[in-house]
Structures are given as C-alpha cells and as structure tokens.
Amino acid sequence: MDIETPLNIHLTGCHHSCAQHYISDIGLIGAKVPIGEGDDVVEGYHLFAGGGFGPDADIGREVYHDLKAVDAPQTVEKLLKAYLSHRSSPNETFLSFARRHDGETLRKLADAEVSS
C-alpha cells in the first residue's frame, strides 16, 4: 500500500495526551478492553482520526472504541485502504479525507475493506 502524502500516527498509553493522540491523523490511546461477560479485559486502544495542529488545528474524532490490541494493525490498515479507495482525488490527504466523514462513517468504510 503506497501513501503518497505525509501521515502522522501517534500512539500513547498516557491519558493526559502526552503523545497528542487527539491531534494526529490517526491517534491511538491505550485502554483496557472488556471481553465477554464479567470483568475480563485485554489490552487495546481507542482510535481517533482527523486531528491536526497549527493552521489545521482540530481534535480527532473517535472511530473505534475498545479496539483490541491484536486487531489494531489490521484495523489501521483497513482505515488506510478505505482512504485510498474513497478519497476525492489522488491529491487528497488522509487528514482531509478523515475530516469529510464522521467517526461512524470512517468505521463503516474501514470495516468494508479487506486486510491483506
């Protein structure tokens, strides 16, 4: 998969936003993800997209809540494939693409993609 424009991905476990996951193209913040019934949890993330800084400052939208860590690489790949498949032109950045859609739409577009 070839992405022609710069892309910022920030990953953090700090809930104080030390790695600035809210202002990256794709941001992941560590979370305990509940599984099954009861109190069982696994490591995971909340995934945000469409954040920016400087003249493009904005807070990213949550695309996935409680994403299991084992599923994160494939999920990011599907989100990037959705960008490549649905961008308005070859020159559209991921940031512009992400901001044209709400979190639910981004999730649906990504979930429709197939991982390699």
Question: pTM of the prediction?
Answer: 0.89
Q: Which has the higher per-residue pLDDT, 114 or 70?
A: 70
- Structural domain count of the chain: 1
Evaluate whether 40 touches 26 at the Cβ level (below 8 Å): no
Coil, helix or strand at residue 44: strand
Residue 93 lies in a domain: yes
Residue 52 lies in a domain: yes
Residue holding tokens 């202002």?
A: 23
Residue 2 lies in a domain: no
What CATH number does residue 39 fall under?
A: 3.30.413.10
Q: Which residues contact 21 (CB under 8 A, 6 or more apart)?
A: 10, 11, 12, 27, 28, 29, 48, 51, 60
Residue 116 lies in a domain: no
E strand spans, the chain? 9-12, 26-34, 41-49, 61-68
Q: Which residues contact 99 (CB under 8 A, 6 or more apart)?
A: 50, 58
Mean pLDDT within 42-64: 91
Residue 3 lies in a domain: no
Residue 19 lies in a domain: yes
Closest CA to 80 of 57, 49, 52: 49
CA distance 25 to 103: 13
Residue numbers of the domain that contains 96 = 9-111
What was the pLDDT predicted at 116? Answer: 60
Q: pLDDT for 13-52, tens place per residue?
A: 777 666 677 788 999 999 999 988 878 999 999 999 999 8
